[in-house]
Amino acid sequence: MADKWQLIHPNHINAIVDGHEATIEHFRDRVGFTLDQLIPDSGDGTDACLMTLGGVMFEFFAPKERGERGQGRLLNKFGDHYIGIEYHVPDVVSAREFAVEKEIRIINDLGAAFFTYPGNSFGIAFEIYDGDFKRLAQPEGYWENQQPLGLTGLARLTVAVDSVEAATARLNELAYISEIGPISRLRAGAKGVQLQVGTAVWELLEPTGDGPVADYLGRYGQRIRSTVFKAKSLAEVEKHLSGQGFDLIPGDADDALAINPAQNKNLLFEFTE
């Protein structure tokens, strides 16, 4: 029997976006990402790229057409949206064996990595890989000292779920995790729990009534809702992003600011000290 997943650290957060070149221009030229690697269409009608902000890498998948199959279907249904996350594991072969044993549907098996069906894990497509992309990282201190936002890494990843209890139990079935503690997000109309998932903190949120999390679930269903970046100074974040023409809104937590997702390809980015 294969052991459950040992999720060591996130390699990148995954999102489906509309327009390959437009996505690169937006995140590089307006937000401040670095473009790390272009991944041309391999025959599935999708161009992709790896980009990084504040030491947090993303893979953006840009279907060439909206359609009735694959990522084009998802783009047609949801528009730009978060789809999942890639984690580094010690051994992809063992991780794949576990997925098969537990009947976790693999929707794309690349050999060196595989993708799981989001419906098996509260809307998150896991990409499992036993390599990493550290070779693409900027020199130490670049994000904190040389880029205007002054970011220092990932504070947490928030996930909107129907039931925190059910999602936590499911994640515990899949991987080694530990509970940090309960949290309340009044601004988001939500409550939840923070979990340690490898090196990353996850925040699972369920709605307590009407509000942003309930609205998000109604629009997109269960899935990643927000990437929260750590910053040296929220004042500097606000100054830079306002200068780039973004409207900043309150984040879920009392000490967080966010880019209006309507101006950020529907992806909620938050910032906290």
Residue keyed to tokens 């970046």:
229
User: What does the block give as tokens for 269?
Assistant: 């980015």
Q: Letter for the amino acid at 66? A: R
Query: Which tens digit of pLDDT belongs to each residue from 144-201?
Result: 999 999 999 999 999 999 999 999 999 999 999 999 999 999 999 999 999 999 999 9
**CA distance from start to end of the chain:** 43
CATH classification of the domain holding 129: 3.10.180.10
The answer to whether the CB of 160 falls within 8 A of the CB of 225 is yes
Residue 120 neighbours by CB distance under 10 Å: 19
Distance CA 246, CA 145 (A): 22
Flag whether 44 is in a domain. Answer: yes
The answer to whether the CB of 176 falls within 8 A of the CB of 4 is yes
Distance CA 65, CA 213 (A): 29
Flag whether 2 is in a domain. Answer: no
pLDDT at residue 41 tops 90:
no
Looking at the structure of the chain, the number of domains it has is: 2
Residues 126 and 222 in one domain: no
**Predicted local distance difference test score (pLDDT) of residue 244:** 96
45 falls in which pLDDT band (50, 70, 90)?
Answer: confident
Residues 49 and 79 in one domain: yes
Flag whether 19 is in a domain. Answer: yes
| Domain boundary residue, one of 112, 136, 160 | 136
Residues 155 and 58 in one domain: no
Query: Which tens digit of pLDDT belongs to each residue from 91-118?
Result: 999 999 999 999 999 999 999 999 999 9
Query: Which tens digit of pLDDT belongs to each residue from 211-244?
Result: 999 999 999 999 999 999 999 999 999 999 999 9
| Domain boundary residue, one of 90, 114, 136 | 136
pLDDT at residue 42 tops 90:
no
| Domain boundary residue, one of 86, 105, 136 | 136
Average pLDDT over residues 22-26: 98
Residues 121 and 224 in one domain: no
In the chain, the percentage of residues whose pLDDT exceeds 70 is 100
Residues 109 and 27 in one domain: yes
Sign, Cα dihedral of 8, 161, 107, 94: positive
Domain that holds residue 114: 9-136
Flag whether 141 is in a domain. Answer: no
Average pLDDT over residues 249-253: 97
Instruction: State the pTM of this model.
Output: 0.96
Flag whether 1 is in a domain. Answer: no
Distance CA 150, CA 263 (A): 21
Nearest C-alpha neighbor of 34 from the set 17, 47, 50, 18: 50
